[in-house]
């Protein structure tokens, strides 16, 4: 591969086709860092709205260092992979205390921040500080698996090292950040899962294209089977308020809020599972009286079917929930649900209830069931 020619073909294409994204207009280290963390596992087009709202609320490291986790999780709601938001907060604390709220330019110091791996450190170092550091994400791995016609899965360490070495050797000193972004943009827009070789600015440098194997690169790893889970979730309303609880540290989605419920065990119906979960989780005896909806959602390898019921108390007239499996909880007004961060499945249940004509009756403050 002629490196100079490759670089000039790629950058010419990027100059004409790169998307106008808010962090590209003002690429200071803080903005680049937040955008890169948000973009992990998330398409850039989706990131833009979250990024703009974030910058309106926390425009710099100083404001972020004072942020409450509760507010940050709420701002992050819907982006998924909430550990990213928690790591941003941990990093903000490190940056405030160890670096005086000045983002370090040393790639090793950037890499030492919680939640920052080789890719993010390379992206911040090259885009915000103009350093010749590679930033190899899934898009760049895919592009080079084809350019170099690599016949091993990109998840293999050796493949990543080969790609990082190749990118490092190609990075032009005058535009390292643009070069890295151009590679990622090429992977997102042209050399996507289905490569559009006819539109590709670096086609002349591509071995997989020359050999007619672009569609079979990168080599796929053996597929991991999806795991299906049945869940039951209950909406319990008392005096116009609904019961929610906050997940504990160490749980999946720590710090997020939810309606009580849990997994349907073998041999149980969703209604039985829900009655059991209410007894175990909050020491309340309830009867699921009405199916609200079924919400299907996925996270990592899990495919969840969540059966949602309105529940009625069958025990004490004015019982007090005991939160055995939550950090805290309580009854809140339906309008207040918007102030709490929920995982995607529970947020979809809330959105369903907002559209459901039956729900107004459930939340009637005079009702006692
Ligand atoms: S020619 Fe095709 S396979 Fe090769 S880099 Fe371009 S889009 Fe990807």
Convert the pLDDT of each residue in 240-295 to its tens digit.
Answer: 999 999 999 888 889 999 999 999 999 999 999 999 999 999 999 999 999 999 99
Taking CA atoms only, the protein residue closest to ligand 1 atom 2 is 197
Distance CA(83)–CA(254), nearest Å, equals 9
Taking CA atoms only, the protein residue closest to ligand 1 atom 1 is 203
Q: In the prediction, which pLDDT does 316 show?
A: 62
φ and ψ of 178, to 5 deg: -65, -40
SS3 state at 219: coil
Distance CA(162)–CA(143), nearest Å, equals 13
The overall average pLDDT reported for the chain is 93
For ligand 1, the distance from its centroid to the CA atom of residue 210, given in whole angstroms, is 9
Which residues line ligand 1 at a C-beta cut-off of 6 Å?
Answer: 143, 146-147, 190-191, 195-197, 200, 202-203, 206, 208-209, 214
Percent of the chain with pLDDT over 90: 85
Distance CA(200)–CA(217), nearest Å, equals 16
Q: In the prediction, which pLDDT does 1 show?
A: 73
Pocket test for ligand 1, best of 17, 147, 170 (most atoms within 8 A of CB): 147
Clarify whether 36 is annotated catalytic: yes
Structure tokens at 210: 């020359």
Q: Model confidence over 103-117: pLDDT tens digits?
A: 999 999 999 999 999
Distance CA(251)–CA(287), nearest Å, equals 26
Structure tokens at 268: 């149980």
Global confidence as pTM: 0.78
CB 103 within 8 A of CB 29: yes
Q: In the prediction, which pLDDT does 250 show?
A: 85
Has residue 367 got a pLDDT over 70? no
369: confidence class by pLDDT, cuts 50, 70, 90? low
- The domains found in the chain, sorted by start residue, are 3-216 (1.10.340.30), 227-362 (3.90.79.10)
Taking CA atoms only, the protein residue closest to ligand 1 atom 3 is 214
Q: What is the mean pLDDT of residues 52-70?
A: 96
Which of 15-19, 30-34, 55-59, 311-315 has the lowest average pLDDT?
Answer: 311-315
Has residue 366 got a pLDDT over 60? no
157 vs 367, more confident: 157
Q: In the prediction, which pLDDT does 81 show?
A: 87
Has residue 368 got a pLDDT over 60? no
Has residue 5 got a pLDDT over 80? yes
Q: In the prediction, which pLDDT does 80 show?
A: 87
């Amino acid at each position: 591969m002629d490196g100079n020619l490759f670089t000039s073909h790629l950058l010419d294409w990027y100059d004409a086709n790169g998307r106008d994204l808010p962090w590209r207009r003002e690429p200071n280290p803080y903005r680049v860092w937040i955008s890169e963390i948000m973009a992990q596992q998330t398409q850039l087009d989706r990131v833009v709205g979250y990024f703009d709202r974030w910058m309106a609320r926390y425009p710099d490291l100083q404001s972020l260092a004072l942020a409450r986790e509760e507010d940050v999780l709420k701002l992050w709601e819907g982006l998924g992979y909430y550990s990213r938001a928690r790591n941003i907060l941990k990093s903000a604390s490190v940056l405030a205390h160890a670096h005086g709220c000045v983002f370090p330019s040393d790639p090793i110091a950037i890499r030492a921040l919680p939640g920052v791996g080789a890719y993010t450190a390379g992206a911040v170092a090259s885009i915000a500080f103009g350093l010749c550091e590679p930033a190899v994400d899934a898009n760049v791995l895919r592009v080079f698996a084809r350019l170099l016609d690599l016949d091993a899965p990109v998840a293999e360490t050796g493949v990543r090292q080969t790609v990082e070495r190749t990118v490092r050797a190609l990075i032009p000193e005058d535009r390292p950040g643009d070069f890295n972004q151009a590679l990622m943009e090429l992977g997102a827009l042209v050399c996507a899962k289905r490569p559009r070789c006819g539109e590709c600015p670096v086609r002349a440098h591509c071995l997989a294209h020359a050999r007619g194997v672009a569609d079979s690169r990168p080599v796929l790893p053996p597929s991991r089977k999806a795991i299906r889970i049945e869940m039951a979730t209950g909406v319990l309303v008392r005096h116009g308020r609904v019961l929610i609880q906050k997940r504990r540290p160490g749980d999946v989605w720590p710090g997020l809020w939810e309606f009580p419920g849990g997994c349907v065990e073998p041999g149980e119906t969703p209604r039985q599972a829900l009655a059991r979960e209410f007894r175990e989780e909050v020491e309340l005896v309830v009867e699921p009286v009405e199916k609200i909806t079924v919400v299907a959602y996925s996270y990592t390898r899990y495919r969840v079917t969540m059966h949602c019921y309105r529940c009625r108390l069958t025990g004490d007239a004015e019982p007090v929930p005991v939160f055995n499996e939550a950090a805290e909880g309580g009854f809140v007004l339906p309008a207040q649900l918007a102030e709490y961060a929920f995982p995607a499945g529970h947020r979809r249940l809330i959105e369903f209830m907002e559209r459901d004509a039956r729900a107004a009756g459930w939340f009637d403050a005079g009702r006692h069931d």
